[in-house]
Amino acid sequence: MIKVKFFAVLRERLGTSEMALEPTGIHTVEDIIKTLKQQSDKHQKELERYQLLCAVNQDMLPLSASVKAGDEVALFPPVTGG
């Protein structure tokens, strides 16, 4: 399994803090996002709303980063502050 965690407004809008995905056919974070968008119209809308950032096993990486079974992937919208 690949554990996918959602943070900030993304977590609130999707109504969940994490999901587990079977790794079959998933090779990159982009594949994870594509798979998640197929879950529902809500997932499609919310995952397209932001230019997502990701961390794989707590390391910030591009969406093209490779993933495998046992990885933890965090998805979150860009962070702003002041």
The residue count for the chain: 82
Please report, for the domain that includes residue 32, its CATH number: 3.10.20.30
Considering the domain boundaries, does residue 23 fall inside one? yes
23 is in which domain, residue-wise? 2-76
> Total domain count for the chain?
1
Considering the domain boundaries, does residue 81 fall inside one? no
Q: What's the pTM value of the predicted model, to 2 decimals?
A: 0.92
* Dist CA 70 CA 80 (whole Å): 30
φ, ψ of residue 66 in degrees (nearest 5): -75, 145
Considering the domain boundaries, does residue 82 fall inside one? no
pLDDT tens readout for residues 28-76: 999 999 999 999 999 999 999 889 999 999 999 999 999 999 999 999 9
